[in-house]
Structure 1
Amino acid sequence: MRLTRIIILFLFTAILAACERVLDIEIREEQPVLVIEGSLTTKREPHTVKLYYTRPVIAGTAASVVSQAFITLKDNVGNIETLRELGNGVYEISNMRGREGRTYTLSVAFGDNTYEAISTIPRLSMEADTLEFKYKNKQLLYPEEGYYPFIGGQDLDGLGDFTQYKIFRNGKFLNKAKEINLFRDKYVDGNRIGNYELEIDSPFVSGDHIRIEAWSLTEAHYNTLADIREQLSNSGLFASPLPNVRSNIRKVNPASASVTGFFGTSSVKSVERYVP
């Protein structure tokens, strides 16, 4: 019986080996797409806008950037600023500061290309006003033992609030796919929420410093981040085709080159502490 099994296994392996073929797949080269990426928040610090082009997945070179663009930012009360180029496709918002409720228009021009993005800073609901840690032993839901963060906050009355929680461990931003923590008030409008667990890739240890920043989001910004999280998590044998990430950048001149990206505006508050 054992000899029969060995013979069957040998024949099966031989059949698989005989079926192997080397396939040369021709991948069509797409035209690069301009990416405009930036943000303005209520944080009292300079903000930036980046301009660069997409590149093929298998390319071994860095993405090309856009220099000498003319970029302005204005709000709905008459303030306007021309952004200063720092180099490497980065432009700085030096003077304009975000204020909750104001609407901001970002305008970008270079050559015959003109683009625009408009965004209002939404109110911040479900601010993380408490931060606690719970120690979890290794189990199905927690593949590593350690400390996991839980927050609490008050959702404001009125549907339509969206929030992102950015986690910083010892000053380093945690930005893996599962660490894009998003919240919407669709089913919890106006409620006090406690013990809201934030997703992390690996647990904290005693003595770590953690800072949680709560960023208010427009619905469009929430949808874009949800798209990004889905795409970053989309892998493996049964991965689905990737849709385009939604964008709030529009062409002013219809003949402008194709564009994607997002200009977001947020109100931000934070809470921090050390792991006991």
Structure 2
Amino acid sequence: MRLIQTFFVLFALLFFSACEKVIDIELKGSDPLLVIEGVINNRTDTQSVRITSSVPIGESNRFPGVSGATVTVKDQDGITYAFRERAPGIYSSRRMRGIPGRTYSLSILYNRKSYTAQSRMPSQVTIDSIGFQSTTIFNNSRTSLQLIFRDPPQIKNYYRFVLSVNEVKTSSIFVYSDDFTDGKQVTRDLFDVDVDLKSGDKVAVEMHCIDPVIYRYWFGLDQNRSRGGASVTPANPVSNISNGALGYFSAQTQQTEQLYVPFL
């Protein structure tokens, strides 16, 4: 009996060791894609488009600027603005100001490929007041920026908020739609778990009124970042740029307000 057991153990070890096979997985990098970040706003005469190139997985997150592109923006009346390259990958026009309610078209020609996008600038919604809100989590008190505005009735509105502390933009993505607050007063707390505001900090907020596609872009990007260690493979956020380019082109209104955290 002992001999039979010994034989079985030896047979099992030989069987499983014979089934082992070393598999070398070759991770091939895909061809780089253009990453386009274009914004037209109603607050300044200088508009800009940033063009970079994607990098393979495993490399540093330093995206090289793409030089030599032809960049133009055309308004709905057919007036075309040429964007000059001011720095590697940075293209701008210093004689254009966006107008709410109008549609703008982006055109980029690079390496014999054409990339286009359209965006309509929504009407502006303004911040009524801003202040600070204290929140206690596990006996720790955190201070966050709070803003109040009135959402216009019977109009679909989408918003993005950009938070800066001591002139450094935070990495959090704040987007909002009026699905449940159409025509109502809205209070938004821009709470960032990675930001602990202190007395004397200079805090600024930008309020952007954006179109539906740009809202979906930022919402999708936020969902990918918030997924964390989930097993679902993240996907590229929805882009309004043609020909497989990544990024977005947004015609948006913009309001910036700032204040200092009071000494408590």
Q: Shorter-normalised TM-score: what interval?
A: 0.7 to 0.9
Alpha-carbon contact 1:146-1:205 (below 8 Å) kept: no
Contact map agreement 1:36 1:263 (CA 8 A) in 2: yes
Q: Name stretches of at least 5 consecutive residues in structure 2 with no aligned partner.
A: 1-20
Give the conservation status (yes or no) of the 8 Å contact 1:124–1:163: no
What is the RMSD of the two structures over their aligned residues, measured on CA atoms?
2.2
Secondary structure of the equivalent of 1:129?
strand
Give the whole-Å Cα distance in 1 for the aligned partners of 2:120 and 2:60.
Answer: 38
1:16 alignment counterpart = none
How many residue pairs were aligned? 241
For residue 234 of structure 1, report the CA deviation from its aligned partner. Answer: 2.5
Deviations 1:46-101 (A, max 9, x none): 23212222111212584343222111111113432111112311111221111111
TM-score, with structure 1 as normaliser: 0.80
2:145 to 116, 128, 149: 149
The C-alpha deviation readout for 1:97-139, integer Å capped at 9, x for no partner, is 11111111111112321111111111233x3221121233442
Match of 1:14 in 2: none
Residues 155, 22 of structure 1: alpha-carbon distance in 2 compared, 3 angstrom cutoff: farther
8 Å Cα contact 2:41-2:252 kept in structure 1: yes
Give yes or no for contact 1:128–1:212 (8 Å, CA) kept in 2: no
Contact 1:145 1:203 in 2 (8 A): no
Alpha-carbon distance in structure 1 between the residues aligned to 2:169 and 2:220: 20
Partner of 2:47: 47
Paired residue for 1:197?
A: 189
In structure 1, give the amino acid aligned to 2:44: R
Which residue, 209, 214, 221 being the options, matches 2:202? 209
Aligned to 1:269: 255
Describe the shift of the 1:193–1:66 C-alpha distance in structure 2 as closer, same or farther (beyond 3 A): closer
Shift of 1:22: 8.7
1:62 & 1:185 partners in 2: Cα distance? 36
1:200-245 C-alpha deviation (Å, 9 max, x unpaired): 1222111112111110010000000011111222222x34211221
Residue type matched to 1:75 in 2?
D
More deviation, 63-72/131-140: 131-140
Aligned to 1:4: none
> Which segments of structure 1 move beyond 6 Å, counting only runs of 4 or more?
none
Task: Give TM-score, length-normalised by structure 2.
Answer: 0.83
Aligned to 1:73: 73
Q: 2:45–2:96: 8 Å Cα contact kept in structure 1?
A: no
Question: Structure 1 residues 23 and 170 mapped into 2: Cα distance closer, same or farther (>3 Å)?
Answer: farther
Offset, 1:191: 0.6
The answer for the alignment partner of 1:131 in structure 2 is 130
* Cα distance in 2, alignment partners of residues 225 and 169 from structure 1: 21
Q: Distance in 2 between matches of 1:181 and 1:26?
A: 38
| Structure 1 residues 204 and 60, CA gap change in structure 2 (3 angstroms) | closer
Partner SS for 1:225: helix
Equivalence map 1:1-276=2 (5 Å): 24-44=24-44, 46-60=46-60, 62-125=62-125, 127-139=126-138, 144-175=140-171, 179-194=172-187, 196-200=188-192, 201-236=194-229, 238-251=230-243, 258-276=244-262
Letter in structure 1 aligned against 2:250? G
Distance 1:61 1:136, change over 3 A: closer
Q: Distance in 1 between matches of 2:133 and 2:36?
A: 39
1:160 CA displacement: 1.5
- Unaligned stretches of 5+ in structure 1? 1-20, 252-257
Partner of 1:8: none
Q: For 2:25 and 2:259, locate their aligned partners in 1 and report how far apart those are by CA, in whole Å.
A: 52
Q: Which amino acid in the other structure matches residue 255 of structure 2?
A: K
Amino acid of the structure 1 residue aligned with 2:211: T
